[in-house]
Structure 1
Amino acid sequence: ALARAAGAGGMVGGQMLDLEAERIRPEEAGIIRLQAMKTGALIRFACEAGAIVAGAPAADRERLAEFGSAIGLAFQLADDLLDLTADARQMGKATGKDAAAGKATLVALHGANWARDQLQGLVDQAHALLCPYGEDAVLLKQAAEFVAARNS
Protein backbone atom coordinates (compact mmCIF):
# COMPACT_ATOMS: atom_id res chain seq x y z
CA ALA A 1 0.00 0.00 0.00
CA LEU A 2 2.86 2.38 0.78
CA ALA A 3 4.60 1.51 -2.49
CA ARG A 4 1.41 2.25 -4.41
CA ALA A 5 0.94 5.57 -2.58
CA ALA A 6 4.53 6.62 -3.27
CA GLY A 7 4.92 5.18 -6.78
CA ALA A 8 3.66 5.90 -10.28
CA GLY A 9 0.00 5.76 -9.23
CA GLY A 10 0.67 8.08 -6.28
CA MET A 11 3.24 10.70 -5.35
CA VAL A 12 5.69 10.06 -8.19
CA GLY A 13 2.93 10.08 -10.80
CA GLY A 14 1.44 13.21 -9.25
CA GLN A 15 4.80 14.96 -9.41
CA MET A 16 5.07 14.03 -13.09
CA LEU A 17 1.60 15.51 -13.72
CA ASP A 18 2.60 18.61 -11.75
CA LEU A 19 5.66 19.12 -13.95
CA GLU A 20 3.55 18.56 -17.05
CA ALA A 21 1.02 21.11 -15.75
CA GLU A 22 3.68 23.81 -16.02
CA ARG A 23 3.57 23.24 -19.77
CA ILE A 24 -0.08 22.35 -20.31
CA ARG A 25 -2.47 24.00 -17.84
CA PRO A 26 -4.92 21.36 -16.66
CA GLU A 27 -8.58 22.01 -15.99
CA GLU A 28 -10.13 21.47 -12.56
CA ALA A 29 -10.37 17.68 -12.86
CA GLY A 30 -6.68 17.48 -13.81
CA ILE A 31 -5.66 19.68 -10.88
CA ILE A 32 -7.66 17.52 -8.47
CA ARG A 33 -6.14 14.36 -9.91
CA LEU A 34 -2.54 15.56 -9.66
CA GLN A 35 -3.05 16.86 -6.12
CA ALA A 36 -4.76 13.64 -5.01
CA MET A 37 -1.81 11.71 -6.35
CA LYS A 38 1.03 14.03 -5.36
CA THR A 39 0.14 15.03 -1.80
CA GLY A 40 -3.06 13.14 -1.16
CA ALA A 41 -1.83 9.60 -1.81
CA LEU A 42 0.67 9.64 1.04
CA ILE A 43 -1.73 11.31 3.46
CA ARG A 44 -4.44 8.83 2.46
CA PHE A 45 -2.04 5.94 3.11
CA ALA A 46 -0.90 7.39 6.44
CA CYS A 47 -4.51 7.49 7.61
CA GLU A 48 -5.20 3.96 6.41
CA ALA A 49 -1.93 2.51 7.74
CA GLY A 50 -3.07 2.27 11.36
CA ALA A 51 -6.10 0.26 10.29
CA ILE A 52 -3.90 -2.01 8.19
CA VAL A 53 -1.49 -2.66 11.08
CA ALA A 54 -4.39 -3.23 13.50
CA GLY A 55 -6.00 -5.75 11.17
CA ALA A 56 -9.18 -3.65 10.99
CA PRO A 57 -12.05 -4.70 8.73
CA ALA A 58 -12.03 -3.51 5.13
CA ALA A 59 -14.84 -1.02 5.83
CA ASP A 60 -12.75 0.72 8.50
CA ARG A 61 -9.70 0.76 6.23
CA GLU A 62 -11.74 2.39 3.47
CA ARG A 63 -13.37 4.88 5.86
CA LEU A 64 -9.97 5.99 7.18
CA ALA A 65 -8.56 6.14 3.66
CA GLU A 66 -11.47 8.41 2.65
CA PHE A 67 -10.72 10.54 5.72
CA GLY A 68 -7.12 10.75 4.46
CA SER A 69 -8.29 11.81 1.01
CA ALA A 70 -10.38 14.61 2.52
CA ILE A 71 -7.57 15.96 4.66
CA GLY A 72 -5.08 15.47 1.83
CA LEU A 73 -7.12 17.78 -0.37
CA ALA A 74 -7.55 20.16 2.57
CA PHE A 75 -3.79 20.19 3.10
CA GLN A 76 -3.16 21.11 -0.54
CA LEU A 77 -5.90 23.77 -0.60
CA ALA A 78 -4.54 25.32 2.59
CA ASP A 79 -1.02 25.26 1.16
CA ASP A 80 -2.11 26.94 -2.06
CA LEU A 81 -4.18 29.48 -0.13
CA LEU A 82 -1.22 30.30 2.11
CA ASP A 83 1.01 30.69 -0.94
CA LEU A 84 -1.46 33.30 -2.20
CA THR A 85 -2.30 35.13 1.03
CA ALA A 86 0.47 34.71 3.63
CA ASP A 87 3.67 36.69 3.83
CA ALA A 88 7.09 35.07 3.59
CA ARG A 89 7.97 35.80 7.22
CA GLN A 90 4.83 34.03 8.45
CA MET A 91 5.48 31.05 6.19
CA GLY A 92 9.21 30.81 6.71
CA LYS A 93 9.62 30.51 2.94
CA ALA A 94 8.93 32.51 -0.19
CA THR A 95 5.28 32.97 -1.09
CA GLY A 96 3.51 33.88 -4.31
CA LYS A 97 5.54 31.33 -6.24
CA ASP A 98 2.50 29.54 -7.70
CA ALA A 99 0.96 32.72 -9.12
CA ALA A 100 4.32 33.96 -10.42
CA ALA A 101 4.88 30.65 -12.19
CA GLY A 102 1.31 30.59 -13.54
CA LYS A 103 0.82 27.29 -11.73
CA ALA A 104 -2.60 25.70 -12.03
CA THR A 105 -4.15 25.40 -8.58
CA LEU A 106 -7.74 25.24 -7.40
CA VAL A 107 -7.18 28.50 -5.53
CA ALA A 108 -5.97 30.19 -8.73
CA LEU A 109 -8.96 28.77 -10.58
CA HIS A 110 -11.70 29.64 -8.04
CA GLY A 111 -10.26 32.22 -5.63
CA ALA A 112 -9.45 32.47 -1.94
CA ASN A 113 -13.04 32.70 -0.66
CA TRP A 114 -14.04 29.56 -2.54
CA ALA A 115 -11.00 27.77 -1.09
CA ARG A 116 -11.93 28.78 2.47
CA ASP A 117 -15.47 27.44 1.94
CA GLN A 118 -14.06 24.21 0.54
CA LEU A 119 -11.72 23.82 3.50
CA GLN A 120 -14.65 24.00 5.92
CA GLY A 121 -16.56 21.47 3.82
CA LEU A 122 -13.60 19.09 3.82
CA VAL A 123 -13.26 19.36 7.61
CA ASP A 124 -16.99 18.64 7.94
CA GLN A 125 -16.61 15.64 5.62
CA ALA A 126 -13.62 14.36 7.60
CA HIS A 127 -15.53 14.69 10.88
CA ALA A 128 -18.55 12.87 9.43
CA LEU A 129 -16.36 9.97 8.32
CA LEU A 130 -15.10 9.63 11.89
CA CYS A 131 -18.54 9.63 13.57
CA PRO A 132 -18.66 5.84 14.02
CA TYR A 133 -15.54 6.01 16.20
CA GLY A 134 -16.90 8.51 18.73
CA GLU A 135 -14.39 9.79 21.27
CA ASP A 136 -11.70 7.47 19.92
CA ALA A 137 -11.39 9.79 16.91
CA VAL A 138 -10.86 13.09 18.76
CA LEU A 139 -7.20 13.39 17.73
CA LEU A 140 -8.02 12.67 14.10
CA LYS A 141 -10.75 15.33 14.16
CA GLN A 142 -8.26 17.81 15.62
CA ALA A 143 -5.75 16.88 12.93
CA ALA A 144 -8.34 17.66 10.23
CA GLU A 145 -9.01 21.05 11.78
CA PHE A 146 -5.30 21.82 12.06
CA VAL A 147 -4.61 20.91 8.43
CA ALA A 148 -7.31 23.28 7.22
CA ALA A 149 -6.62 26.18 9.59
CA ARG A 150 -2.82 26.20 9.68
CA ASN A 151 -1.08 29.50 9.06
CA SER A 152 2.36 28.33 8.02
Structure 2
Amino acid sequence: MTDFATQLATDANQCADMLDMVFKAQTILAPRLGDAMRYAVLNGGKRMRAGLVLGAARLAATENDAGTYVDSRALRVAAALECLHAYSLIHDDLPAMDDAETRRGKPSCHIAFDEATAILAGDALQTLAFEILADDATHPDPVVRVTLVATLARASGLAGMAGGQMLDLQAETRDLTLAETEQMQMMKTGALIVCAATCGALVGGASSSLTNAVTTYADKLGLAFQIADDLLDYDGDSDGMGKPVGQDAIKGKASFVTLMGLEKAKNEANNLIDNAQMALAPWQDAAAYLQALAGFAVARRS
Protein backbone atom coordinates (compact mmCIF):
# COMPACT_ATOMS: atom_id res chain seq x y z
CA MET A 1 0.00 0.00 0.00
CA THR A 2 2.95 2.29 0.64
CA ASP A 3 4.12 1.80 -2.95
CA PHE A 4 0.61 2.53 -4.16
CA ALA A 5 0.32 5.69 -2.04
CA THR A 6 3.67 6.90 -3.34
CA GLN A 7 2.67 6.25 -6.95
CA LEU A 8 -0.72 7.93 -6.49
CA ALA A 9 0.99 11.01 -5.04
CA THR A 10 3.48 11.01 -7.92
CA ASP A 11 0.66 10.76 -10.44
CA ALA A 12 -1.18 13.63 -8.75
CA ASN A 13 1.92 15.83 -8.75
CA GLN A 14 2.75 15.07 -12.38
CA CYS A 15 -0.82 15.80 -13.41
CA ALA A 16 -0.73 19.11 -11.53
CA ASP A 17 2.52 19.98 -13.32
CA MET A 18 0.91 19.18 -16.67
CA LEU A 19 -2.11 21.33 -15.81
CA ASP A 20 0.21 24.18 -14.87
CA MET A 21 2.02 23.75 -18.19
CA VAL A 22 -1.29 23.80 -20.07
CA PHE A 23 -2.36 27.02 -18.36
CA LYS A 24 0.98 28.70 -19.04
CA ALA A 25 0.53 27.91 -22.74
CA GLN A 26 -2.87 29.65 -22.82
CA THR A 27 -3.31 33.25 -23.93
CA ILE A 28 -5.22 34.66 -20.97
CA LEU A 29 -6.94 37.95 -21.80
CA ALA A 30 -9.36 37.68 -18.87
CA PRO A 31 -7.06 37.20 -15.85
CA ARG A 32 -9.88 36.86 -13.30
CA LEU A 33 -11.37 33.99 -15.29
CA GLY A 34 -7.96 32.35 -15.58
CA ASP A 35 -7.45 32.68 -11.84
CA ALA A 36 -10.82 31.06 -11.13
CA MET A 37 -10.02 28.17 -13.47
CA ARG A 38 -6.67 27.56 -11.82
CA TYR A 39 -8.24 27.86 -8.37
CA ALA A 40 -10.76 25.14 -9.21
CA VAL A 41 -8.51 22.64 -10.94
CA LEU A 42 -5.31 23.12 -8.92
CA ASN A 43 -7.07 23.25 -5.54
CA GLY A 44 -5.87 19.87 -4.27
CA GLY A 45 -7.97 16.74 -4.50
CA LYS A 46 -7.15 13.05 -4.78
CA ARG A 47 -6.71 13.12 -8.58
CA MET A 48 -8.30 9.67 -8.69
CA ARG A 49 -9.43 10.11 -12.28
CA ALA A 50 -5.91 11.10 -13.28
CA GLY A 51 -4.66 8.02 -11.45
CA LEU A 52 -7.08 5.88 -13.45
CA VAL A 53 -5.86 7.34 -16.74
CA LEU A 54 -2.21 6.87 -15.86
CA GLY A 55 -2.67 3.46 -14.27
CA ALA A 56 -4.54 2.12 -17.31
CA ALA A 57 -1.93 3.61 -19.66
CA ARG A 58 0.90 2.00 -17.69
CA LEU A 59 -0.89 -1.34 -17.74
CA ALA A 60 -1.37 -1.06 -21.50
CA ALA A 61 2.32 -0.25 -21.87
CA THR A 62 3.25 -3.61 -20.34
CA GLU A 63 1.40 -5.34 -23.19
CA ASN A 64 3.48 -3.41 -25.70
CA ASP A 65 6.82 -4.15 -24.03
CA ALA A 66 7.05 -0.46 -23.23
CA GLY A 67 7.63 -0.94 -19.52
CA THR A 68 5.77 1.30 -17.07
CA TYR A 69 6.88 4.62 -18.55
CA VAL A 70 4.04 7.07 -19.02
CA ASP A 71 4.81 9.88 -21.44
CA SER A 72 3.21 13.28 -21.81
CA ARG A 73 0.37 11.80 -23.88
CA ALA A 74 -1.20 10.02 -20.91
CA LEU A 75 -0.55 13.02 -18.69
CA ARG A 76 -2.36 15.27 -21.15
CA VAL A 77 -5.36 12.92 -21.11
CA ALA A 78 -5.24 12.93 -17.31
CA ALA A 79 -5.15 16.74 -17.30
CA ALA A 80 -8.17 16.86 -19.61
CA LEU A 81 -10.16 14.57 -17.32
CA GLU A 82 -9.25 16.72 -14.32
CA CYS A 83 -10.39 19.87 -16.13
CA LEU A 84 -13.73 18.25 -16.94
CA HIS A 85 -14.08 17.00 -13.37
CA ALA A 86 -13.25 20.44 -11.94
CA TYR A 87 -15.90 22.03 -14.18
CA SER A 88 -18.47 19.58 -12.84
CA LEU A 89 -17.57 20.39 -9.24
CA ILE A 90 -17.81 24.14 -9.83
CA HIS A 91 -21.30 23.79 -11.27
CA ASP A 92 -22.30 21.19 -8.68
CA ASP A 93 -21.53 23.68 -5.89
CA LEU A 94 -23.57 26.54 -7.39
CA PRO A 95 -26.64 27.86 -5.52
CA ALA A 96 -28.91 26.45 -8.25
CA MET A 97 -27.43 22.98 -7.74
CA ASP A 98 -26.11 21.77 -4.36
CA ASP A 99 -25.52 25.28 -2.97
CA ALA A 100 -22.26 24.24 -1.30
CA GLU A 101 -20.00 26.92 0.13
CA THR A 102 -16.92 24.75 0.68
CA ARG A 103 -14.99 22.28 -1.43
CA ARG A 104 -11.90 20.41 -0.23
CA GLY A 105 -11.82 22.53 2.91
CA LYS A 106 -11.71 25.80 0.98
CA PRO A 107 -14.36 28.22 -0.29
CA SER A 108 -16.17 26.94 -3.38
CA CYS A 109 -15.31 28.73 -6.60
CA HIS A 110 -18.46 30.88 -6.57
CA ILE A 111 -17.68 31.94 -2.99
CA ALA A 112 -13.99 32.63 -3.63
CA PHE A 113 -14.85 34.65 -6.75
CA ASP A 114 -18.51 35.19 -7.63
CA GLU A 115 -21.30 33.17 -9.19
CA ALA A 116 -20.96 34.54 -12.72
CA THR A 117 -17.19 34.03 -12.74
CA ALA A 118 -17.62 30.50 -11.41
CA ILE A 119 -20.07 29.60 -14.18
CA LEU A 120 -17.68 30.92 -16.81
CA ALA A 121 -14.74 29.12 -15.18
CA GLY A 122 -16.65 25.86 -15.38
CA ASP A 123 -17.57 26.51 -19.01
CA ALA A 124 -13.97 27.33 -19.91
CA LEU A 125 -12.57 24.28 -18.10
CA GLN A 126 -14.99 22.06 -19.99
CA THR A 127 -13.90 23.43 -23.36
CA LEU A 128 -10.24 23.32 -22.31
CA ALA A 129 -10.59 19.58 -21.67
CA PHE A 130 -11.61 18.99 -25.29
CA GLU A 131 -8.95 21.39 -26.56
CA ILE A 132 -6.30 19.32 -24.79
CA LEU A 133 -7.59 16.04 -26.24
CA ALA A 134 -7.89 17.44 -29.78
CA ASP A 135 -4.30 18.71 -29.82
CA ASP A 136 -1.85 16.52 -31.75
CA ALA A 137 0.49 16.69 -28.75
CA THR A 138 -1.95 14.31 -27.04
CA HIS A 139 -1.60 11.64 -29.74
CA PRO A 140 -0.24 11.68 -33.31
CA ASP A 141 -3.12 9.54 -34.63
CA PRO A 142 -6.20 11.68 -35.39
CA VAL A 143 -8.46 8.63 -35.02
CA VAL A 144 -7.26 8.20 -31.44
CA ARG A 145 -7.80 11.89 -30.72
CA VAL A 146 -11.33 11.82 -32.13
CA THR A 147 -12.10 8.71 -30.09
CA LEU A 148 -10.82 10.39 -26.92
CA VAL A 149 -12.97 13.46 -27.59
CA ALA A 150 -16.06 11.38 -28.37
CA THR A 151 -15.58 9.20 -25.30
CA LEU A 152 -15.35 12.20 -22.98
CA ALA A 153 -18.29 13.91 -24.69
CA ARG A 154 -20.54 10.89 -24.16
CA ALA A 155 -19.42 10.50 -20.55
CA SER A 156 -20.09 14.13 -19.67
CA GLY A 157 -23.26 14.86 -21.64
CA LEU A 158 -26.92 13.90 -21.76
CA ALA A 159 -26.34 10.16 -21.32
CA GLY A 160 -23.62 10.72 -18.73
CA MET A 161 -22.70 13.26 -16.10
CA ALA A 162 -25.06 16.10 -17.07
CA GLY A 163 -28.01 13.75 -17.42
CA GLY A 164 -27.18 12.16 -14.08
CA GLN A 165 -27.06 15.57 -12.41
CA MET A 166 -30.52 16.33 -13.79
CA LEU A 167 -31.87 13.09 -12.36
CA ASP A 168 -30.18 13.93 -9.05
CA LEU A 169 -31.94 17.30 -8.92
CA GLN A 170 -35.27 15.65 -9.65
CA ALA A 171 -34.62 13.18 -6.82
CA GLU A 172 -35.13 16.05 -4.37
CA THR A 173 -38.84 16.08 -5.19
CA ARG A 174 -39.61 12.38 -5.65
CA ASP A 175 -38.47 9.07 -4.21
CA LEU A 176 -36.18 6.92 -6.36
CA THR A 177 -35.98 3.14 -6.35
CA LEU A 178 -32.65 1.39 -5.86
CA ALA A 179 -32.45 0.66 -9.60
CA GLU A 180 -33.14 4.31 -10.44
CA THR A 181 -30.52 5.44 -7.93
CA GLU A 182 -27.94 3.09 -9.45
CA GLN A 183 -28.73 4.40 -12.94
CA MET A 184 -28.49 8.01 -11.79
CA GLN A 185 -25.15 7.50 -10.06
CA MET A 186 -23.64 5.52 -12.92
CA MET A 187 -24.44 8.50 -15.14
CA LYS A 188 -23.49 11.27 -12.71
CA THR A 189 -20.33 9.75 -11.23
CA GLY A 190 -19.56 6.43 -12.85
CA ALA A 191 -19.50 7.57 -16.48
CA LEU A 192 -16.47 9.83 -15.98
CA ILE A 193 -14.66 7.13 -13.99
CA VAL A 194 -15.19 4.63 -16.81
CA CYS A 195 -14.12 7.31 -19.29
CA ALA A 196 -10.86 7.94 -17.41
CA ALA A 197 -9.89 4.28 -17.39
CA THR A 198 -10.85 3.57 -21.00
CA CYS A 199 -9.13 6.71 -22.29
CA GLY A 200 -5.99 5.70 -20.42
CA ALA A 201 -6.13 2.26 -22.01
CA LEU A 202 -6.67 3.82 -25.43
CA VAL A 203 -3.79 6.27 -25.25
CA GLY A 204 -1.57 3.45 -23.95
CA GLY A 205 -2.40 1.25 -26.94
CA ALA A 206 -4.24 -1.47 -25.01
CA SER A 207 -5.47 -4.66 -26.65
CA SER A 208 -9.22 -5.20 -26.99
CA SER A 209 -9.17 -7.78 -24.20
CA LEU A 210 -7.46 -5.37 -21.80
CA THR A 211 -9.75 -2.51 -22.84
CA ASN A 212 -12.79 -4.67 -22.10
CA ALA A 213 -11.35 -5.72 -18.74
CA VAL A 214 -10.51 -2.13 -17.79
CA THR A 215 -14.04 -1.05 -18.73
CA THR A 216 -15.55 -3.76 -16.52
CA TYR A 217 -13.17 -2.79 -13.71
CA ALA A 218 -14.08 0.90 -13.94
CA ASP A 219 -17.81 0.18 -14.19
CA LYS A 220 -17.72 -1.70 -10.87
CA LEU A 221 -15.43 0.90 -9.34
CA GLY A 222 -17.71 3.77 -10.33
CA LEU A 223 -20.69 2.35 -8.47
CA ALA A 224 -18.57 1.36 -5.45
CA PHE A 225 -17.12 4.88 -5.34
CA GLN A 226 -20.58 6.42 -5.15
CA ILE A 227 -21.72 4.01 -2.44
CA ALA A 228 -18.60 4.99 -0.49
CA ASP A 229 -19.54 8.65 -1.00
CA ASP A 230 -23.01 7.98 0.40
CA LEU A 231 -21.47 6.20 3.38
CA LEU A 232 -19.22 9.20 4.01
CA ASP A 233 -22.18 11.55 3.75
CA TYR A 234 -23.90 9.41 6.39
CA ASP A 235 -21.10 8.95 8.93
CA GLY A 236 -18.12 10.92 7.63
CA ASP A 237 -16.34 13.83 9.28
CA SER A 238 -16.96 17.22 7.70
CA ASP A 239 -13.51 18.52 8.71
CA GLY A 240 -11.77 15.53 7.18
CA MET A 241 -13.86 15.69 4.03
CA GLY A 242 -13.54 19.43 3.60
CA LYS A 243 -17.28 19.84 2.99
CA PRO A 244 -20.52 19.46 4.98
CA VAL A 245 -21.88 15.94 5.55
CA GLY A 246 -25.45 14.74 5.95
CA GLN A 247 -26.67 16.70 2.95
CA ASP A 248 -28.70 13.86 1.43
CA ALA A 249 -30.70 13.47 4.64
CA ILE A 250 -31.27 17.22 4.90
CA LYS A 251 -32.64 17.34 1.35
CA GLY A 252 -34.62 14.13 1.78
CA LYS A 253 -32.81 12.47 -1.11
CA ALA A 254 -32.53 8.71 -1.46
CA SER A 255 -29.03 7.28 -1.13
CA PHE A 256 -27.57 3.80 -1.13
CA VAL A 257 -27.49 3.98 2.67
CA THR A 258 -31.17 4.87 3.03
CA LEU A 259 -32.25 2.36 0.37
CA MET A 260 -30.03 -0.57 1.39
CA GLY A 261 -29.15 0.06 5.02
CA LEU A 262 -25.69 0.81 6.37
CA GLU A 263 -24.23 -2.70 6.54
CA LYS A 264 -25.67 -3.87 3.24
CA ALA A 265 -24.32 -0.76 1.53
CA LYS A 266 -20.85 -1.43 2.96
CA ASN A 267 -21.00 -5.06 1.84
CA GLU A 268 -22.16 -4.08 -1.64
CA ALA A 269 -19.29 -1.60 -2.03
CA ASN A 270 -16.77 -4.25 -0.97
CA ASN A 271 -18.30 -6.84 -3.33
CA LEU A 272 -18.12 -4.41 -6.23
CA ILE A 273 -14.45 -3.72 -5.49
CA ASP A 274 -13.72 -7.45 -5.34
CA ASN A 275 -15.32 -7.85 -8.77
CA ALA A 276 -13.43 -4.84 -10.13
CA GLN A 277 -10.13 -6.28 -8.97
CA MET A 278 -10.96 -9.73 -10.35
CA ALA A 279 -11.56 -8.24 -13.80
CA LEU A 280 -7.85 -7.39 -13.93
CA ALA A 281 -6.60 -10.63 -12.34
CA PRO A 282 -5.23 -12.06 -15.63
CA TRP A 283 -2.69 -9.22 -15.74
CA GLN A 284 -1.35 -10.20 -12.31
CA ASP A 285 1.25 -7.85 -10.81
CA ALA A 286 1.02 -5.41 -13.71
CA ALA A 287 -2.50 -4.54 -12.55
CA ALA A 288 -1.56 -4.08 -8.88
CA TYR A 289 -1.81 -0.27 -8.99
CA LEU A 290 -5.32 -0.22 -10.44
CA GLN A 291 -6.42 -2.93 -8.02
CA ALA A 292 -5.05 -0.92 -5.09
CA LEU A 293 -6.74 2.20 -6.43
CA ALA A 294 -10.06 0.37 -6.30
CA GLY A 295 -9.49 -0.55 -2.66
CA PHE A 296 -8.54 3.03 -1.89
CA ALA A 297 -11.81 4.26 -3.40
CA VAL A 298 -13.91 2.58 -0.70
CA ALA A 299 -11.45 2.83 2.20
CA ARG A 300 -10.93 6.61 1.87
CA ARG A 301 -12.29 8.99 4.50
CA SER A 302 -12.51 12.06 2.26
TM-score of the two chains, using structure 2 as the length reference: 0.49
1:10 to 160, 165, 178: 160
Query: Counterparts in 2 of 1:13-52, with a 5 A limit?
Result: 13-52=163-202
2:271 matches 1:93: no
SS in 1 for 2:175: coil
The answer to which of 59-68 and 8-17 deviates more is: 59-68
Structure with bigger RCO (C-alpha 8 Å, 6+ apart): 1
What letter matches 1:21 in structure 2? A
After the TM superposition, which of the residue ranges 80-89 and 55-64 deviates more from structure 2? Answer: 55-64
Partner of 1:118: 268
Deviations 1:34-72 (A, max 9, x none): 000000000011111122113323332221111111111
Distance 2:287 2:184 in 1: 29
Moved over 3 A (4+): none
Q: How does 1:103-114 map to 2 (within 5 A)?
A: 103-114=253-264
Structure 2: gaps (5+ residues): 1-150
Q: Which residue of 1 is the match for residue 283 of structure 2?
A: 133
Partner of 1:80 in structure 2? 230
1:53 to 203, 225, 229: 203
Percent same amino acid among aligned pairs?
Answer: 45
SS at match of 2:212: helix
Separation in 2, partners of 1:93, 1:21: 21
How far apart, CA to CA, are the structure 2 residues paired with 1:66 and 1:8? 22
For residue 95 of structure 1, give the secondary structure of its aligned residue in structure 2: coil
2:298 to 140, 144, 148: 148
How far residue 87 of structure 1 moved from its aligned partner, in angstroms, is: 2.4
Give the residue type in structure 1 aligned to 2:256.
L
| CA distance in structure 1 between the partners assigned to 2:212 and 2:157 by the alignment | 20
Query: Where do 5+ consecutive residues of structure 1 fail to align?
Result: none
Give the count of matched residue pairs: 152
Greater helix content? 1
Structure 1 counterpart of 2:152, one-letter code:
L
Report the AA paired with residue 131 of structure 1.
Answer: A
Larger radius of gyration: 2
- Superposed CA RMSD in Å reads 1.1
